[in-house]
Amino acid sequence: MIELPSERPLDLDRADPEREIRVRAEAFRNWGRWGDDDRLGTLNFIDDAARARAASLVRTGEVVSLAQSFDTDGPQRGWRRRTNPVHTMTDTGVEAQYIGQGFPHGFGGADDVISMPLQCSTQWDGLGHIFDHGMAWNGRPAGEVVTSEGDLVTGIEHAAASVVGRGVLLDVGRHLRPDTGELEDGYAITAGDLDATIEAQGARSAVGRGDVLLIRTGQYARTRRNGWGEYAGGAAPGLSLTTAGWLHRREIAAVATDTWGFEVRPNEFDAAAFQPLHQVVIPNMGLTIGEMWNLDELAVRCAHVGRFEFLLSAPPLPITGAVGSPINPIAVL
């Protein structure tokens, strides 16, 4: 029997990220859980019954978009060739009004194109996005899964009809920092913090099988007030590596935050480390991760009605072979 690793950040060996990642990968690995041919990972937890229950949560019909903007005024600064979206008009009203567009009887129109990385704003990380020692989700060799042709096995298109279900917002920023609602950069959210937020928000904030968990840190609100700064790749509040067991135990379908990188940055080690929680939960647990979600308006509405659960629709675009997708998540209260 595998000994479960500690959920206390103070117990992490800050000099040995390799070991701390390995013990969690082995303890919380879901390889084979849904068969050798699985393409969805923990999204399998959302079944038809879960969606029906989620639909019953709609009370007022109020709709809240959880997306950041997709425009040139975005957070990206070129890291790994990630740029902000470039939107270009290919036909405009100017041509229609003054030049003509070659259509009969006065018909005119506008068209446009957009060029952007798939993970430049509000998005899902697909299961082919992160590898662990050359292995992709479900124990497949990474080089056989993702090639120059794209993700040949777990492309994001397979999840196009999966991410509709019960959403739960945990406003950790507001719970831990009631004066500002914003966690400071570098704050590592613990399993205890998540449990305490659930207790403070009430029993209807309990998180379980098939839920999509949304965690608000407040960092996005800070960037909207002070400017993007180092939002893309810089220091940020986020989940501690030690929450991997909590996420696994709860059997959530997916998780998203209002930060660029989901987990705490800088990461929790003195030795070189990069996104260790990603390395555990995506290729080993099969957990779909969302980043750069705008959770501020939703937090206000949930606090106003005293309810932090809702119907959530957040399907990725069915981009064949993609390892991530931009999205416009919708919460229906």
Parse the chain into domains and list their residue ranges: 14-78+117-332, 86-115
- Using 70 as the pLDDT threshold, list the residues of the chain that sit under it: 1
Torsion angle of the four alpha carbons 50, 278, 238, 232, in this order, in degrees rounded to the nearest 10: -110
Quote the pLDDT of residue 227. 97
How do strand 135-136 and strand 111-115 relate by DSSP bridges?
unpaired
**Mean pLDDT score of the chain:** 97
Torsion angle of the four alpha carbons 91, 95, 101, 107, in this order, in degrees rounded to the nearest 10: 90
CATH class of 14-78+117-332: alpha beta
Q: What are phi and psi of 332, to 5 degrees?
A: -115, 115
**Amino acid identity of 3?**
E
Reduce the DSSP state of residue 160 to 3 states and report it. Answer: coil
CA distance linking residue 308 with residue 87, whole number of Å? 35
Q: What are phi and psi of 207, to 5 degrees?
A: -115, 135
How do strand 86-91 and strand 111-115 relate by DSSP bridges?
antiparallel
Quote the pLDDT of residue 102. 94
Q: How many helices (DSSP H) and strands (DSSP E) are in the chain?
A: 10, 17
Quote the pLDDT of residue 3. 79
- Is there a contact between 265 and 236 (Cβ–Cβ < 8 Å)? yes
CA distance linking residue 30 with residue 287, whole number of Å? 9
Quote the pLDDT of residue 1. 63
- Is there a contact between 333 and 303 (Cβ–Cβ < 8 Å)? no
Quote the pLDDT of residue 39. 98
The conformation of residue 90, written as its DSSP 8-state character, comes to E
Q: What is the CA radius of gyration of the chain?
A: 21
